[in-house]
Structure formats: structure tokens, C-alpha cells
Amino acid sequence: MLLVEPDPGGARIIEGALIEGTFRLERAPGFSEALAVLEDKVFDVALIDIASLPGPRIDSSLLRMISVSPGSSILLLCHP
């Protein structure tokens, strides 16, 4: 699983909640870093904090991520 979370504190909370899982978790601090990781590795799931997506058009950012890693499921984290 790839975790895209710009906030280190938020990443620790999510990692702590997922620690019991039987999967490998890798973290990317932002969207561009996530794209670089996805170009080299295959993940079943990408868990993305929506705040890490650039610009006002997150749909185009998500389409770009899907084109780089078409086999990955994408889950978006949204919080106030």
C-alpha cells in the first residue's frame, strides 16, 4: 500500500491504525513523489490525502495517477 500524506503527524496516525495489517506500507509525502514511486513499483492500493493533490483540478491529477499505475485501487482521505 502506498500512503500519500503530506503531514508527518497524520501519516503516523494512519500508519498506527494500519500496523496490524498484513501488507507492506510505503509513504510518499506528496503527489509528485507518489508518481515517482508508482513509476517504479506496483501497489494494490494507493491511500491518498486529498490535500496532497496539486491545483484546483484534482480530477486531472487522479487521472494522471491512474495512467501511471492502472492496476492500483485509489482511496481518497478527506478531512475538514
Question: What domain range includes position 56?
Answer: 2-77
pLDDT of residue 67: 92
The model's pTM? 0.71
Q: Are strands 45-49 and 2-4 parallel, antiparallel or unpaired?
A: parallel
Q: What is the pLDDT of residues 31-52, one digit of tens each?
A: 888 889 999 998 999 888 887 7
CATH of the domain at 38: 3.40.50.2300
Q: Does residue 1 surpass a pLDDT of 70?
A: yes
Q: How many domains does the chain have?
A: 1
pLDDT of residue 37: 92
Give the 3-state secondary structure of residue 1.
coil
Q: Does residue 79 surpass a pLDDT of 80?
A: no
Q: What is the pLDDT of residues 13-36, one digit of tens each?
A: 888 877 777 778 899 988 888 889
